[in-house]
């Protein structure tokens, strides 16, 4: 299931890796696409939206959608 999250605080490739790894720890099969310019993270995963948002937030980023 494709889901889009608005994420604040991402500014560099380290942020992209941190968010991607956080989601893939939850679901190793997840596909993650991060747009630093738009502040969006698109995730294709079978995991619930709340679990993905929590995994991103646990990395220190603010998830607003």
Quick: pLDDT tens for 9-63: 999 999 999 999 999 999 999 999 999 999 999 999 999 999 999 999 999 999 9
- pLDDT confidence of 65, banded at 50, 70, 90? low
Q: In what order do the strands lie in the sheet with 2-8?
A: 31-35, 40-44, 2-8, 62-63
Q: Could you list the residue range(s) of the whole structural domain that residue 47 is in?
A: 2-63
Q: With contact defined as beta carbons under 8 Å apart, do 61 and 10 qualify?
A: yes
pTM of the model: 0.94
The CATH number of the domain where 14 resides is what? 3.30.70.100
Give the 3-state secondary structure of residue 59: coil
Domain count, the chain: 1
Q: How far apart are CA 22 and CA 54, in angstroms?
A: 9
């Amino acid at each position: 299931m494709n889901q889009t999250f608005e994420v604040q605080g991402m500014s560099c490739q380290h942020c992209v890796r941190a968010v991607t790894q956080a989601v893939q720890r939850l679901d190793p099969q997840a596909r993650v696409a991060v747009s630093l310019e738009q502040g969006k993270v698109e995730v294709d995963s079978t995991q619930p939206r709340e679990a993905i948002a929590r995994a991103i937030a646990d990395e220190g980023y603010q998830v607003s959608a």
